[in-house]
């Protein structure tokens, strides 16, 4: 009879071990799901930041490619400043009916100012420009052009912000900002 009783006790103890092991596994699984959720969120945010940075760098390069130089004319080497004052970079491809490198009006980095903003889809493809974003717009890109205070005739400050579109068409906190100074050559 003692062999039968000891067998029953052993089975009951195995059941308790299974319950404890199940509780440990459930706890580990719950913790892992939180970590997995955090990793997915971080991966998505990283992707958005990377695309926004690439879009801002692209616009900065477009601005830098506009004419901003000195031209030397005949005679005793007279140097005249030459600037692109007509290219519209808010269109794709760029057109010749825009502000070029003219000084930007105030607020071009914080609001959608025509001529200083364009909209892109989730893959970074240009889909429009204007005061309000089209429905499929995911990214907003804004820029500003200002003369450098210490040498306004020969130095420009170029700024670009890019980020995802917010509920009212504004930029969200995942915005990136790139700034450079361009000198006349």
| Domain assignment present for 9 | no
Number of structural domains in the chain: 1
Helix ranges restricted to H, the chain: 2-65
Q: Which residue has the tokens 């003219």?
A: 102
Cβ–Cβ under 8 Å, residues 159 and 144: yes
Could you report the per-residue pLDDT of 22-80, keeping only the tens digit for each?
999 999 998 889 899 999 999 988 988 999 999 999 999 999 999 988 887 766 677 78
Distance between CA 71 and CA 64 in Å, rounded? 17
| Domain assignment present for 164 | yes
pTM of the predicted model as reported, rounded to 2 decimal places: 0.79
| Domain assignment present for 129 | yes
| Domain assignment present for 4 | no
Angle at 87 between CA 85 and CA 88, to 5 degrees: 125
Distance between CA 68 and CA 58 in Å, rounded? 18
| Domain assignment present for 31 | no
Omega cis (within 30) before 93: yes
């Amino acid at each position: 009879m003692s062999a039968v009783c000891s067998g029953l006790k052993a089975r009951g103890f195995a059941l308790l071990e299974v319950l404890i092991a199940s509780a440990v596994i459930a706890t580990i699984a719950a913790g892992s799901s939180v970590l997995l959720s955090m990793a997915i969120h971080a991966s998505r945010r990283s992707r958005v930041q990377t695309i926004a940075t690439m879009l801002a760098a692209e616009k900065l390069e477009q601005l830098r490619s506009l004419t901003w130089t000195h031209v030397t004319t005949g005679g005793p080497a007279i140097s005249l400043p030459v600037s692109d004052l007509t290219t519209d970079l808010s269109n794709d491809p760029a057109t010749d009916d825009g502000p070029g490198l003219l000084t930007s009006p105030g607020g071009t980095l914080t609001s959608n100012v025509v001529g200083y903003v364009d909209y892109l889809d989730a893959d970074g493809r240009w889909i429009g420009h204007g005061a309000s974003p089209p429905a499929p717009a995911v990214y907003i890109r804004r820029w500003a052009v200002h003369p450098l205070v210490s040498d306004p005739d020969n130095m420009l400050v170029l700024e670009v912000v890019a980020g995802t579109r917010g509920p009212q068409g504004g930029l969200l906190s995942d915005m990136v900002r790139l700034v450079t100074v361009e000198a006349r050559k």
